[in-house]
Chain A
Amino acid sequence: MKALLDWLDHRTGCRKLLQEALFENVPGGSRWRYVWGSTLTFTLAVQFITGIFLWMAYNPSSQTAWESVYFIQEEMLGGWLLRGLHHYTAQAMNILLVLHLMQVVIDGAYKAPREVNFWFGIALLGLVLALSLTGYLLPWDQKGYWATKVATSIAAITPFIGPELQKLIIGGAEYGHHTLSRFFALHAGVLPAAVIGLLVGHIYLFRRHGITAKQPYRKPDEKFWPEQVLKDAVACLAVLAAVLFLVIRYGAELTAPADPADNYAAARPEWYFLFLYQLLKYFPGESEIIGAMIIPTLIMVLICLMPFFGRWKRGHRFNVSLLYVLLAGVALLTWKAVQADQANPEYLAAVRQAGKDAERVKVLARGPNGIPSAGAVTLLRNDPFTQGPKLFAKNCASCHRYDGQDGTGLVSTNAPAAADLKDFASRAWLTRFLDPAHIATPQCFGGTKHVEGKMVKFVQKDVAAFSTNDQVMLRKAIAALSAESKLKSQRDLDGRDAALIQEGRQLIAGETLRCTECHQFRKKDEDATAPDLTGYGSREWLTGIISNPKHPRFYGKRNDRMQSFGEEKILDSVAIGLLADWLRGEWYEPAEAPVE
């Protein structure tokens, strides 16, 4: 072994290099305040290691980026840990950078002859922020997509070259495959190479000038090994422990796949860029460039000039004060951004919805059909459970309610102007509708012009006077009418009540309950003046009435205010189908695991 090492040393001089690296003198002995540079180098190494392994499984295109990250996170052995380490270490780096900068400025390590090394450090800070920015997009999820879209749109306000610069950054006029290719090339190639180059220079210059020891010395000089190395290792372990805690406790977030058509109201930059986001709020319209570029550039120039300020009599004190003011400003702006969001119910609802979408797409991806070639975004686009509430809130909730709210959970202060459609066509819904005490309430016909119509009068006078026997017949008719809808939630019940439903059909078609005086049921009736009861509440019936409630089969000329969503091309047939499926409770649900 010794012979081998001698051979190697003779050819490479590795022993001398190792001795220089390990046995550097630390004036005044090792100290905990010197650990930040080493922790940063450590986190950078973690990012390189985890990044290369992630690279082996990541696929940068708009149909595969989210999908490959999902696969890493949810399917691959230890993928959650690997991605979690990369995700949270990136965030830890930003904190460590600030701590390192504070140590350098407070200890005066930026002063001559260490100016160049200070600038190397500032450049490294910029590169790490650029790595964060580019890495944020790579999962191609809603959060990363919309945040990056905002960031790159800000690039477009650069004087003279803005639009061209934006096109160069995103690889064309639209966000897509090339945006990901470029960001990935920057994130995994260009920026890491630049970081390595600057880091080598940074460490070389650090070693050339030696450590800026904090005065007064507390103990005699020590060597870097093992005293300072041990402290550095403990600090690195503490950073790793914090990161592991976050990975295990929260895991790396993966929101729903990016969908340019689905405006993501919860879009925010990552927490360490929130101060910039907040700053932009104070510079509306044309003045945005002040907050987006001029102020950040001036601050970076001021920081870079610190070595020169430091030459003045009170320069060092000025620099330390400047640093504290900047950090306080960043903290204040971040706090204000968080406060504003926490007080914004729409933002909070959007965050809740984003959480639901993120969970839902994973359920669908794990489903029997898996992820199609067109990408996971189509899973959500074609999912009634996801799209139904959004379509309802946007198109129906101005009049209707769904369990008292707009489908997404928001409760309007306005009174409903049409029926509450939760459990529409179910036995419970029809029983309430045909209840004399309920039919004229806002949950039923109360908000419509039909409150003055024949149906309400019939229920309030005739049904109210039903004998016990009539009420038994009405219950059978309700069961039969509800069975027309073939609701998934009532499948078993309808199967058990087949005989009762058959009786109910005859009652609806007969004269006793007087349904067919106005409605048609299972046979053509040209004189019918109210909605067809054949297939009532079925998918075909619902898509029909949503498409065109003015059709003679439904309300005809008696239609109140309901728009013809299909006829007027407000919604396409896919959207109408999704809405109908959602109202009927028809969506994919994973089978419950069998109890062993």
Chain B
Amino acid sequence: MNSHAPPPGEGRRGFFKQTAAIFLGAVTALVPLAAGLLTMLDPLRRKAGPAGFVHVTSLSALPEDGSPRRFSVIADRSDAWNKIPQVPIGAVYLRRQGVLVHALNVTCPHAGCAVEYRPASGSYLCPCHNSKFKIEGGLADPRSPSSRGMDTLEVELRNHTEVWVKFQNFEAGKAKKVAIA
């Protein structure tokens, strides 16, 4: 019963029907696809929260010998629909030099692992890919996979004792330090 031969040409009418069928078929398929793609691309318009100063610790909590100490950064966090007050949003190494305080983000600039401080060598080591950093954050080993030193953060000393850090994360894998927007 079935014949699978292409139909004979029907001239202009046939062309119109074929074009209309393709056009209408495309429209019906594109509407759900477009709605889906629009929603899937939504994260592109989401921005990281504004970087603000966070009270991390007090000056007296930092060793006077200049060795670094790790602190959690506690702040309000937004995660899609959730707003969570006062939870750890990251961590920093703080180091005191007299009345000056230096802050480094613990996140390795190579691929985002957390860097560990090794007191024996007085340097930082990333346990994932062995990037090595000096105590002030610069690259300690030119063979380190990280293309830049650890990310420094702005510090403010308020009321002579409170250590406030402008906490930010930066794009990994780049030689240039670029804040995640």
Contact = CB atoms under 8 A, between A and B. Distances in A.
Contacts of A315: none
Interface stretch (A44-52, A400-408, A466-474): A44-52
A282 interface: no
Contacts of B18: 225-226
A226 B29 CA distance: 17
B38 to A, nearest CB: 3
B1 interface: yes
A50 B25 contact: no
B38 A81 contact: yes
A67 B38 contact: no
Given A53-B40, A68-B81, A25 B1 contact: yes
A42 interface: yes
B41 interface: yes
Contacts of A49: 32-33, 36
A24 interface: yes
A52 B36 contact: yes
B42 A371 contact: no
B40 A56 contact: yes
Interface string B12-46: 00100110110011011101111111111110010
A57 interface: yes
A234 B24 contact: yes
A85 B31 CA distance: 9
A70 B83 CA distance: 14
A330 interface: no
B119 interface: no
A223 B7 CA distance: 7
Contacts of B82: 67, 370-373
B4 A19 contact: yes
A71 interface: yes
A480 B78 CA distance: 44
A177 B161 CA distance: 47
B86 interface: no
A23 B8 CA distance: 11
B6 interface: yes
Nearest to A46: B32
Nearest to B29: A45
B84 interface: yes
Contact of B39 (A57, A226, A369): A57
A233 B83 contact: no
B32 to A, nearest CB: 4
Interface residues of B, number: 37
A254 to B, nearest CB: 13
A430 to B, nearest CB: 39
Interface in A82-101: 82, 85
A370 B83 contact: yes
A70 B82 CA distance: 11
Contacts of A234: 24
Nearest to A375: B82
Contacts of A45: 29, 32
A8 interface: no
Given A233-B21, A233-B24, A373-B84, A72 B39 contact: yes
Nearest to B3: A25
A27 interface: yes
Interface in B34-90: 34-42, 45, 78, 80-85
Summarize A's interface: helix, strand, loop or mixed.
helix
B5 interface: yes
Contacts, number: 121
A465 interface: no
B5 to A, nearest CB: 7
A82 B7 contact: no
Given A67-B82, A230-B24, A370-B83, A81 B2 contact: no
A126 interface: no
B81 A71 contact: yes
B81 A370 contact: yes
A230 B2 CA distance: 20
A358 B81 CA distance: 16
A365 B32 contact: no
A244 interface: yes
A98 to B, nearest CB: 21
A76 B39 contact: yes
Contact of B83 (A53, A71, A372): A372
Contacts of A53: 35-37, 39-40
Contact of A372 (B5, B35, B84): B84
Contacts of A79: 39, 42
A23 B5 contact: yes
A593 B146 CA distance: 48
Contacts of A25: 1-3
A581 to B, nearest CB: 21
A288 B29 CA distance: 44
Contacts of B25: 229, 233, 236
Nearest to B37: A53
A365 B45 CA distance: 20
Contacts of A240: 27-28, 31
A78 B20 CA distance: 28
Interface string A219-261: 0001101110110011011001000100000000000000000
Given A53-B39, A230-B24, A23 B4 contact: yes
Contacts of A372: 82-84
B17 A226 contact: yes
A75 interface: yes
A237 B5 contact: no
A210 interface: yes
Contact of A50 (B4, B5, B35, B42): B35
Contacts of A225: 7, 18, 21
B42 A76 contact: yes
Contacts of A560: none
A85 B33 CA distance: 11
Contacts of B38: 77-78, 81-82
A85 B21 contact: no
B76 to A, nearest CB: 10
B4 A20 contact: yes
A20 B6 CA distance: 10
Nearest to A53: B36
Given A50-B36, A233-B21, A237-B24, A68 B80 contact: yes
Nearest to A374: B82
Contacts of B14: 226
Contacts of B83: 369-372
Interface of B: 1-7, 14, 17-18, 20-21, 24-25, 27-29, 31-42, 45, 78, 80-85
5 contacts: A23-B6, A68-B80, A78-B38, A226-B20, A369-B85
Instruction: Please list the 8 inter-chain residue pairs (A to B) with the smallest Cβ-Cβ separation, ordered nearest first.
Output: A370-B83, A53-B36, A78-B38, A233-B24, A230-B21, A77-B42, A71-B81, A82-B35
Given A53-B36, A226-B21, A371-B81, 10 more contacts: A23-B3, A71-B81, A76-B42, A210-B1, A210-B2, A226-B18, A230-B24, A233-B25, A237-B24, A370-B81
